[in-house]
């Protein structure tokens, strides 16, 4: 059962957007029942970069290919939402099983959501950042920007992510620069078990 192709998403953030935008991304799975969930991906880009990309001849349609864009203040925010049965939520169907988010019913009322984070560092590390000038450009564009993975929908009874004070969600926040440099220590999967 898969939802989001993280290899494609992380690759898209660096390759498709290239060095054209400062981005933040949040990927949230809300468990809605023993059989259904809602997946939301929110990517925000500097509004100036977004407007420049849209004004170019080719246009940067990769930014919000499967969602809707909202322009607010200095940001362009793309929101993509899918909901339904666990196996019906397919933000992207082209990845291998080990790159897909997994949602499993552990027992009645308990649902486990797992993000396959092991490949994230490799996906970002595939980009050539050995050149000092390129490294400085990457730092300028991605410093202070983050990828947030979040699980919600009920009481979090087990997780290797940070559990909110109210116990109703868990999240892992990863700096893009840490991913690019390979200096981030993340588990092979980030998971949370939700009690409905």
Instruction: List the chain pLDDT tens, one digit each, 196 residues.
Output: 334 444 445 544 544 444 445 789 999 999 999 999 999 999 898 888 888 878 775 555 567 877 899 999 999 999 999 999 998 776 565 555 667 789 999 999 999 999 888 777 665 555 555 567 776 777 777 788 899 999 999 999 999 999 999 999 999 999 988 877 777 888 889 999 999 8
Q: Residue 7's closest CA among 134, 135, 112, 95?
A: 95
What length does the chain have?
A: 196
Predicted confidence at residue 3, as pLDDT, reads: 41
Residue with tokens 């909901």: 83
Predicted confidence at residue 193, as pLDDT, reads: 98
CA 13/CA 100 separation, integer angstroms: 17
| Cβ–Cβ < 8 Å for 28, 152 | yes
* Coil, strand or helix at 57: coil
DSSP per-residue letters across 119-161: GHHHHHHTS---SHHHHHHHHHHHTT-EEEEEEESSEEEEESS
Predicted confidence at residue 72, as pLDDT, reads: 92
Predicted confidence at residue 14, as pLDDT, reads: 47
3-state DSSP helix/strand/coil percent for the chain, to nearest 5?
25, 40, 35
Domain range annotation of the chain: 6-42+84-195
Predicted confidence at residue 18, as pLDDT, reads: 47
């Amino acid at each position: 059962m898969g939802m989001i192709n993280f290899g494609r998403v992380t690759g898209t953030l660096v390759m498709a957007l290239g060095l054209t935008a400062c981005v933040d991304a949040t990927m949230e799975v809300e468990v809605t029942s023993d059989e259904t969930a809602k997946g939301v991906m929110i990517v925000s880009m500097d509004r100036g970069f977004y407007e420049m990309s849209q004004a170019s001849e080719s246009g940067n349609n990769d930014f919000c290919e499967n969602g809707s864009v909202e322009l607010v203040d200095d940001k362009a925010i793309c929101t993509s939402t899918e909901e339904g049965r666990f196996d019906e939520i397919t933000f992207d169907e082209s990845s291998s099983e080990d790159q897909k988010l997994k949602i499993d019913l552990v027992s009645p009322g308990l649902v486990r959501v797992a993000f396959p984070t092991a490949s994230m560092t490799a996906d970002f590390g595939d980009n050539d950042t050995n050149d000092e000038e390129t490294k400085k450009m990457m730092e300028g564009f991605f410093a202070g920007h983050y990828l947030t993975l979040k699980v919600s929908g009920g009481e979090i009874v087990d997780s290797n992510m940070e559990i909110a004070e109210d116990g109703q969600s868990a999240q892992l926040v990863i700096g893009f620069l840490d991913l690019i440099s390979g200096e981030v220590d993340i588990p092979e999967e980030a998971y949370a078990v939700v009690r409905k």
